[in-house]
Structure 1
């Protein structure tokens, strides 16, 4: 009987310790983890920026209501010098076999054709390929989550890629003010100012750096994550510790350690192929939903955009020195519901916003010329409550997202602790009652 009573004691004691320990952990998980970060000039204390790949605005949102999308008479000649050979109009891709033009910078330059914007089909035809594919586009049936996000938050219809020179150049200008990484990056400035930051990487492999991978393949980790092409971010343990697997993003939200500035690079969900578009939408849904139910929602903003056109058609001539229009959406409690932002923006706009918001030393160059992303926010109104974004085409209205209150949890733990205490006391009484019998037996 003695072993049985001791086992009961041990089990109840373990339950008591486990319960109180969990409650304590929950109570301590409410810190920001960024106590030393300098104060911001706007209510945005946490800025998250994801970059996807190879899509244009007309390709994704050309028929979105209220946006500058596909013109009614949009056509592209199979041969611009001989328009009688045939014209191709934009067409929906709903039932088409998934395709990806896979256009490199040389072909995109040919499509641009010195600003005439008349060779989206012809550039492929000259390669002996079917140029009609460039005119395919999606809508709400294919991109339900993205269109629903636009309905509830903010869509940009004049957000341009940084360059016509391909993924590598655009990714470089995502993190610094130029087409290469020879100078200081945004993260050097953040480090210098003591502002917390992380670069989250989907399926991160620390061994794949500029020393070990090809610099030409857009899927290469060093292209997707430009910092891994810079020796100091690879070799300096302190700087390298800021590059982490994407799973850390979700843990940081839960632990209360989300940095002030976070960049995200996807891998299999990068949207470069048609088959990865559903995965891309699932990824963004996870990123936004978890942010909405975290303690950070009221002070955060999450932006996602694209690093180039990929060969898809867009009718808007870009400003000099920029790439074609790409999709971009902003989810934040400081955006008007369902607003289409018509102002001109690009990746450097986000860099400028971060510089201004945290008072960083300027990178210079293009960031001094562009419109800051700050112009896309509405800081005159109080923060909106989070509205979860549905992922189907029915546009079902979802409830406002609330972070679960710890009060019911603590109440449960309190009740459990009281019950355990009562059981312990009864066990003590039982032990005392049977103890004389053990001595006389």
Structure 2
């Protein structure tokens, strides 16, 4: 689906705010990538996101939604399936023990086997039952608060279905050199694991070092200032160190001084405090604060908060964008089957070199946490576009071009990713920047001894057994397993499936009164909780959706009609167009007839000329009251 983002750069002259910004007004972009957590594992219970309240969950040919992961009888005779489960369900000391728990394998083979050719049903059998476990807000309060204070992306995916190094390489170059990529066979790769031994493995893959061009070399040539901020204790997480040109760079060269030097995170905090950050900063955190299991999330939350505070309380926050992401899922599963390219797409598909999976796509993979912190993403919003680590490159390209830089688009990125992954610009409301700051919960400072972080060591010493008992045969109440918080988020970006939505305009919302045969409008609720105003979108074709009512399953048909469930084949194709910059969304039939609510709150069908301001859409999470 093409990305129609030119409208995002339009400045709305009718804004009631004193001024409007553009991408050009951003002066600093900060990239901060943590380690090894999946979206469901961290944020599946969060209100207003695509999580455990997903109305579009995949149902496989065996009739089971992917919530139900297969269990081998040799593992447990008490259950044939395992639902998602709260890791701290037993309470007591387990609440602390699960902080330093390891779930399963995060490598290529484990995760391809778990995804099982898009059936996505083998996380228990081919990884571990703990792979299907999750945290709640009480376990990661800082991460929740940051996500809910700004904009989270609930369709942001790891770039590759494998471990750390390939995903971080994608973040700084746009490729891992799968056959058909822009790189040649003598430039390293295909990079599917964490190999850092010179040469290729016995399958003639994972060839190391890599030697294609990274984004930072492009920025250096264009005169864009940049810096890697890392300590020597960096978990070997600086992806530039895996490229030959950085390894061989003279000590006085920009590649060495900006890409390989150990300035330390204190240098980042100081630069943020005095307003001297470069245009692009890349933060590599210490091992113990990385959130990579068994390193505890609450220590990683402290680091996240410290980085956020440094940026938001610095003098340049009004012109800064901080992007917090995770490189890969860490052996934790996710219920959303990856959005990926068609079979045979160059640079994304290959014959499995391990001889286990046949012809497979190597990415994008499962969803991982992603948050954008800036004045243009302030507020409890959810960004719904398909994105992956390439999206951060695409965002920087759009931003630098807006600032007048030339020749900053990498030619190393896999073509399909450039064409189909979001450039993230739609997450920004450039007309209404908001520099107010939330009151984040105060993170507990990590325990230290002799200058070393001890949080994980203390946790492991206190809890010889970190993995709680798996609740096989104890999941009779699916609502307890698929637990989620109630609430809502404003939606931004082009729409994707997976949420209950409320469409509001002029103080009213699109409504299914229940016994009616026609769509109507009714006064909106402050908490957007009326079930009669709740809708589900279903992918149709070519950026069109069919829409059903969450109240009774009726389909929106021609001319505002509401059709019985069994008449799904008569459901209308609806285009839901994102207008950007706080202007909301327009809804229209394929024949261009618009579905509008006028200023008096009345529902009208009109011609193809849309109002200047569209619907505000809310993604809501409420339990059924019936």
Asked if Structure 1 and Structure 2 have the same fold, meaning a TM-score greater than 0.5 normalized by the shorter chain, the answer is: yes
Q: Is the 8 A contact 2:273 2:313 kept in 1?
A: no
Partner SS, residue 31 of structure 2: strand
Q: CA offsets, 1:171-206, max 9 Å, x none? A: 1001011015432111011101111101111x326x
List aligned pairs for 1:315-334, cutoff 5 A: 315-320=335-340, 321-334=363-376
Q: Distance in 1 between matches of 2:73 and 2:408?
A: 48
Deviation of the 1:165 alpha carbon: 2.7
Q: Is the 8 A contact 2:155 2:387 kept in 1?
A: yes
Partner SS, residue 42 of structure 1: helix
Q: Distance in 1 between matches of 2:71 and 2:432?
A: 50
Q: Distance in 2 between matches of 1:76 and 1:61?
A: 19
Structure in which a larger fraction of residues adopt helix: 1
Which residue number in structure 2 is paired with residue 60 of structure 1?
Answer: 42
Q: Confirm whether residue 241 of structure 1 aligns to residue 269 of structure 2.
A: no
Which residue number in structure 2 is paired with residue 252 of structure 1?
Answer: 271
Q: Distance in 1 between matches of 2:284 and 2:113?
A: 28
Deviation of the 1:382 alpha carbon: 3.1
Pick from 230, 239, 242: which aligns with 1:229?
242
Partner SS, residue 289 of structure 1: helix
Q: Confirm whether residue 86 of structure 1 aligns to residue 99 of structure 2.
A: no
Q: Confirm whether residue 176 of structure 1 aligns to residue 178 of structure 2.
A: no
Q: CA offsets, 1:245-272, max 9 Å, x none? A: 2221012123332011111112221111
- The alignment's C-alpha RMSD in Å is 2.4
Pick from 197, 209, 215: which aligns with 1:186?
215
Q: Distance in 2 between matches of 1:77 and 1:256?
A: 53
Partner SS, residue 241 of structure 1: helix
Which residue number in structure 1 is paired with residue 33 of structure 2?
Answer: 51
Larger Rg: 1
- Residue 392 and residue 280 in structure 1: after superposition, are their counterparts in 2 closer, same or farther (change >3 A)? closer
Q: How many residues are matched?
A: 332
Q: Distance in 2 between matches of 1:392 and 1:117?
A: 35
Q: Is the 8 A contact 2:104 2:332 kept in 1?
A: no
Q: Which runs of 5+ in 1 are unaligned?
A: 1-39, 125-130, 206-218, 394-441
Q: Is the 8 A contact 2:392 2:424 kept in 1?
A: yes
List aligned pairs for 1:301-380, cutoff 5 A: 301-320=321-340, 321-359=363-401, 360-364=407-411, 365-366=413-414, 368-369=418-419, 370-380=421-431
- Residue 339 and residue 313 in structure 1: after superposition, are their counterparts in 2 closer, same or farther (change >3 A)? same
Structure in which a larger fraction of residues adopt strand: 2
Q: Distance in 2 between matches of 1:335 and 1:280?
A: 22
Highest RCO, 1 vs 2 (Cα 8 Å, sep ≥ 6): 1
Q: Confirm whether residue 198 of structure 1 aligns to residue 227 of structure 2.
A: yes
Q: Confirm whether residue 123 of structure 1 aligns to residue 126 of structure 2.
A: yes
TM-score for both structures, normalised by structure 1: 0.71
Deviation of the 1:392 alpha carbon: 6.8
Pick from 92, 114, 125: which aligns with 1:111?
114
Q: Is the 8 A contact 1:160 1:324 kept in 2?
A: yes
Q: Distance in 2 between matches of 1:80 and 1:270?
A: 36
Deviation of the 1:42 alpha carbon: 3.0
Q: Distance in 2 between matches of 1:317 and 1:116?
A: 8
Q: Distance in 2 between matches of 1:391 and 1:90?
A: 29
Q: CA offsets, 1:348-388, max 9 Å, x none? A: 11101111211342113345322102121110113432334
TM-score for both structures, normalised by structure 2: 0.50
Partner SS, residue 227 of structure 2: strand
Q: Distance in 2 between matches of 1:151 and 1:296?
A: 22
Q: Distance in 1 between matches of 2:155 and 2:24?
A: 24
List aligned pairs for 1:386-397, cutoff 5 A: 386-391=437-442
Q: Distance in 2 between matches of 1:71 and 1:315?
A: 11
- Residue 386 and residue 287 in structure 1: after superposition, are their counterparts in 2 closer, same or farther (change >3 A)? same
Which residue number in structure 2 is paired with residue 399 of structure 1?
Answer: none
